[in-house]
Chains A and B, each alone.
Chain A
């Protein structure tokens, strides 16, 4: 609903759109309390929101808040055309388009990722400022500032929500996918102790990706691949953290608790992703996640196949995190000596690697297996200093105490 209203009032007036939705919901609750829920609650809500939007247009016709220079909006200023123009905005077949268009507008490459995410959660996922702040563990003030800056950007550059032309769809969708994956990781990796909040964010990311798959234009291979990847991760969500909020390593996770239905869904999407020319990083990450999902134990994991995927990933993009994760595969496949050689020969700037806690945590692991506990502990300590996440810190401390005993 917000997406439709944003199209009516302009993206810079998102707060008017939100007010209308809120008013419509309040009216619904008040009316339905006495008369019961109508046969078609959605239509009732749309109708109510439509009428409230008409009231606002009449009231603000002469104010400068809304830009009526656009031909379609101009028709809102005449009583000859206000009502039917408004009806056109609410046609079912446009509503889905508006939603997608809004998603593309939010993912404008010049808007910073955290602002993109904030705006998407606020305008498309129906999060309140307070909820967004809670999800990111920051203050409402910070979130309000992010929204303000994004709105100012839209106003200044006169950005209108639009579905990209077919020739731009791949490049623009890749920004959207990146943002969806960031939202997902916010839920998946976040240090949040509240499982409900994490699951809510994850389900929003899945829903956003699904809405791209509902439209033919955006049924691209990489969209299917990301959907598969997120489902494979989600399937393992519950086994990843125990009741005390402690992280559980993949090797120690209870594989029977992995959600088979989600893994099956993910496999279907992964199969669907296998068309066209493009082999995206999502394809490879999904393939890796799939191999983990179908292994009946940690030891029986198909590490060789996984190593191939990592090699391909590095061919597409040199990414230090990928290089580091690849070392873990080498560690499982060929042992600590080889892994040490691999980590030392990573072509990246070692100064950059030294910023990652993962770098030290892997070195710790390697030296632990090489039976050099003192060096291992040193590296674990460095890793602890570099991570912000409390569960990660506890996990590393746990590893250290195991060595010491």
Chain B
């Protein structure tokens, strides 16, 4: 088993405009999807991220009080999963509820170093 990181980008604008009811439904989809992964022992962990943050550049000397990327590029959350191959991880990612909010999902294998 290898580990993969799913980077979920975008969707923040749409997310803020939906009704409480729709939001609840959306969170239930997350619940169902992640419960499926957890039951197959494929879920390592994952969290949604707040929109605010700081970006450090120039060897850590310059601090900008917002994330580097904006709009569709802004990372909104991540998931760490277990899968046997990139292909399988990609298949898993296709079920991600974030697509309901027009997000993009990038799947990357955790690189063994050294």
State the A residues within 8 Å of B (CB): 71-72, 74-75, 77-81, 83-85, 88
Contact = CB atoms under 8 A, between A and B. Distances in A.
B47 A75 contact: no
Q: Is the interface of A mostly helix, strand, loop or mixed?
A: helix
Closest A-B pairs by Cβ, 10 of them: A71-B38, A84-B31, A80-B30, A74-B38, A81-B31, A71-B39, A81-B34, A84-B27, A79-B47, A78-B46
Given A71-B38, A81-B31, 16 more contacts: A71-B35, A72-B35, A72-B38, A74-B38, A75-B35, A75-B38, A78-B46, A79-B48, A80-B34, A80-B47, A81-B30, A83-B27, A84-B27, A84-B30, A84-B31, A88-B31
Interface in B44-73: 45-48
A81 to B, nearest CB: 5
A77 B77 CA distance: 14
Contacts of B27: 80-81, 83-84
Interface string B12-50: 000000000000100110110011001101010111100
Interface residues of B, number: 16
Contacts of B35: 71-72, 75, 81, 85
Given A71-B38, A71-B39, A72-B38, A77 B31 contact: no
B77 A80 contact: yes
B46 to A, nearest CB: 5
29 contacts: A71-B35, A71-B39, A71-B41, A72-B35, A74-B43, A75-B31, A75-B34, A75-B35, A75-B38, A77-B45, A78-B34, A78-B45, A78-B47, A79-B48, A80-B27, A80-B31, A80-B46, A80-B48, A80-B77, A81-B27, A81-B30, A81-B31, A81-B34, A84-B24, A84-B27, A84-B28, A84-B31, A85-B31, A88-B31
Contacts of B30: 80-81, 84
